[in-house]
Amino acid sequence: MAQPRFGTDGIRGLAFEELSTEIAMCLGRATARVMDLERVVVGRDTRESGPALSTALIEGLNSEGVQVLDVGVLPTPGVAFLSASMMIPGFVLSASHNPFHDNGIKVIGSGGTKLSTATEVAIEKELEALLLDPSQHVYAGTKGTTAQEPGTHRLYTDSLVNVLGVDALASMSIVVDCANGAAFETAKVVLEALGAKVTTIGAEPNGRNINDGVGSTHPEKLSSTVVAQGADLGLALDGDADRLIAVDANGAVIDGDALLALFAKDLKDQGRLANDTVVVTVMTNLGFHRAMEHEQINVQTVAVGDRNVVEAIDKDKLTLGGEQSGHIIFREFATTGDGLLSGLLLADLLRRSSSTLGELAASAFTLYPQYLEAVPVAPGSDLAGATELWERVKSAELDLGDRGRILIRASGTEPVIRVMVEAEDDAHARQLTAELVALVAKSLGSQG
């Protein structure tokens, strides 16, 4: 069988090359057969490749007799919400925070949940078989149907408004950066219904400007706009709006670790943090762990990926988990990370506090200096076999002891090796990161 196509967040690659219309059509066929689909919901973000890939996916589904609800541009958590409320599987065409020339397809299980690994493997096997048969790459005629039902977007936005109630944020001034992505309309609708005074940036998608200098990976424009507007809060979403990075009134960026620390303490204070436990990944800053110890909150650590966070939450019936990148799962309200939900809950937390967001974040935990680098490598590079690299990692970890951490892993979404170093001393962390990045490049052959 070919190298697995499903990464940590579905199938992703260069649109029309690594992710072609043929692959999209065959994926529709394969998923319909493996999961015995009858009805599904399909949504996408604003990439210029989205309409063509969505059409191909839907044609593959229709050719297998599947009834498709096509909701067009809608955030990933919106599609997951419809999947959960209608108890039907879903598909999202998005490459999240990646640039416009990439795209991806996520498959959501009935009820808004991630697919099991066994189901993904079965779909991949069927997909590879279909790709070997050219007759399966073309539309064979409609057996199922496709519908666009008015009001589906409203079901999602109303569900978010109902979390707090109409006009709950009436006293707040908020700037929201929609990343020129899937939430370019829904974010303003929700926040204005909650009564906030809203300014939007990154809300003029043209198919190619998604995540381009805006959004959760580029919060600089949001920071300057918040300061210029004198706003209380800035919210930065990513291309499919499943993650959130915040900005305080002074323009300082508040990442997912800080947000999660604030939410964990707030939920515990309200008696709503199940088992007084929060789920994080191995990328979470060491300072977060120290802060949770101080608050007597248990921390459960899992591998990178919101799939792993959600699985741990559901397994132990927990209520909160997330990632440094801003994926935060409030299981009481959603089946997946939702940047807009996180944003309105953050605004509510701030509204109830006598402190500014900057003051709250500063008191949440002390950030350990942390450096993250992505080193391009050839696809399929043998990280485990990089002996010189791992020998240096071992000696460095002995030197750091419990005063720092090193994490080196292959990305699940692109051909890079991610290097993370934390240490109490900033200069030491920076120097060690540079050394390990050089060793990765030397051992595995940087691709530029």
Whether residue 290 is found in the same domain as residue 399? no
* Residue 290 main-chain phi, psi, to 5 deg: -65, -40
Whether residue 205 is found in the same domain as residue 237? yes
- Please tell me the total count of domains within the chain: 3
**Boundary residue ending a domain (338, 364, 390):** 364
- Tell me which of 30-44, 321-335, 408-422, 424-438 is least confident: 408-422
| Mean predicted confidence (pLDDT) in 35-61 | 97
Q: Say how far apart CA 285 and CA 281 lie, in whole Å.
A: 9
Q: Is the residue at 4 inside a domain? A: no
Whether residue 205 is found in the same domain as residue 310? yes
| Mean predicted confidence (pLDDT) in 232-248 | 97
Q: How confident is the model at residue 448 (pLDDT cuts 50, 70, 90)?
A: very low
Beta strands 90-93 and 39-44 are parallel
**Boundary residue ending a domain (364, 398, 422):** 364
Question: Tell me: the pLDDT tens digits for 215-234?
Answer: 999 999 999 999 999 999 99
Q: Say how far apart CA 426 and CA 196 lie, in whole Å.
A: 39
Whether residue 165 is found in the same domain as residue 145? no
pLDDT at 114: 87
Q: DSSP for 366-423?
A: PPPPEEEEEEE--TT--STT-HHHHHHHHHHHHHHGGGEEEEEEE-SSSSEEEEEEEE
**Boundary residue ending a domain (151, 176, 211):** 151
Q: Is the residue at 230 inside a domain? A: yes
Q: 172 with 197: CB under 8 angstroms? A: yes
Domain hosting 28: range is 11-151
Q: Is the residue at 2 inside a domain? A: no
Q: Is the residue at 339 inside a domain? A: yes
Whether residue 195 is found in the same domain as residue 142? no
As given in the structure block, the two tokens for residue 69 are 């609800």
pLDDT at 371: 93
Whether residue 261 is found in the same domain as residue 384? no
Whether residue 130 is found in the same domain as residue 246? no
Q: 130 with 310: CB under 8 angstroms? A: no
Whether residue 288 is found in the same domain as residue 308? yes
Domain CATH code at residue 396: 3.30.310.50
Question: Tell me: the pLDDT tens digits for 153-201?
Answer: 999 999 999 999 999 999 899 999 999 999 999 999 999 999 999 999 9
Domain CATH code at residue 102: 3.40.120.10
Q: Is the residue at 5 inside a domain? A: no
Q: Is the residue at 156 inside a domain? A: no
The candidate with the shortest Cα–Cα distance to 372, out of 448, 432, 424, 425, is 432
Whether residue 19 is found in the same domain as residue 70? yes
Whether residue 249 is found in the same domain as residue 140? no
Whether residue 213 is found in the same domain as residue 315? yes
Q: DSSP for 51-111?
A: HHHHHHHHHHHHHTT-EEEEEEE--HHHHHHHHHHHT--EEEE--TTS-TTEEEEEEEETT
Query: What integer best gives the mean pLDDT of the chain?
Result: 93
Amino acid found at 318? L
Question: Tell me: the pLDDT tens digits for 277-333?
Answer: 999 999 899 999 999 999 999 999 999 888 899 999 999 999 999 999 999 999 999
**355 among known catalytic residues:** no
Q: Is the residue at 224 inside a domain? A: yes
Catalytic residue among 94, 96, 342, 443: 96
Q: Is the residue at 357 inside a domain? A: yes
Whether residue 390 is found in the same domain as residue 277? no
